[in-house]
Amino acid sequence: MLKKNIEDALNKQIRVEAESSQIYLAMACWAEVKGLEGVAQFMYDQSDEEREHMLKLVKFINERGGHAKISALKEPNVTFESFKGMFEKLFEHEVFVSESINNLVHITLEEKDYATHNFLQWYVAEQIEEEMARTILDKINLIGDDKGGLYLFDRDIQQLTVTSSASTPLE
């Protein structure tokens, strides 16, 4: 049985994951309209993944005797100055999500809820992968304003999407 404060914190994380899915979806739409098919597909895939993260939390809460709650979401930003600016926002958001998960882990340790702590370790490991936006930003900085580099980057990120989604199955 979940303690109330842990249930509340997990429900807050449901919202974070749902908003993450919406942010990625908005980024996918923006990239697609700009002709960045690879970036758009990467963002669509990330949006789906974040929704799966949310559903994992929903099921965990309900299975542990709590009640998962779905709340209203903040509308995501739908325009960006550049694709570099979009990835900078993405990275900032992923750092925020990592902090949120770390806070959750801390609460479970304080409450000695080792089952929830163990469950959250999957999210801790997943966030290390999610912060790959830092590596992507490094590549974008190398490209600069080179249109040919942007074209190659768009193709390369499509391959990254195929590789990462094939190697990280959802439990």
Q: Is 17 annotated as a binding residue?
A: yes
Q: Which of 70, 36, 75, 74 is nearest to 154 (CA)?
A: 36
Residue 29 CA to residue 109 CA, distance in Å, equals 39
Is 53 marked as binding a ligand? Answer: yes
Greatest alpha-carbon span in the chain: 56
CB-based burial label for 146 (10 Å; 0-12, 13-18, 19+): exposed
50 is in an annotated binding site: yes
Q: Is 94 labeled as ligand-binding?
A: yes
Phi, psi of 36 (to 5 degrees): -95, 75
- Show binding-site residues for Fe cation: 17, 50, 53, 94, 127
Residue ranges for the binding site? 17, 50, 53, 94, 127
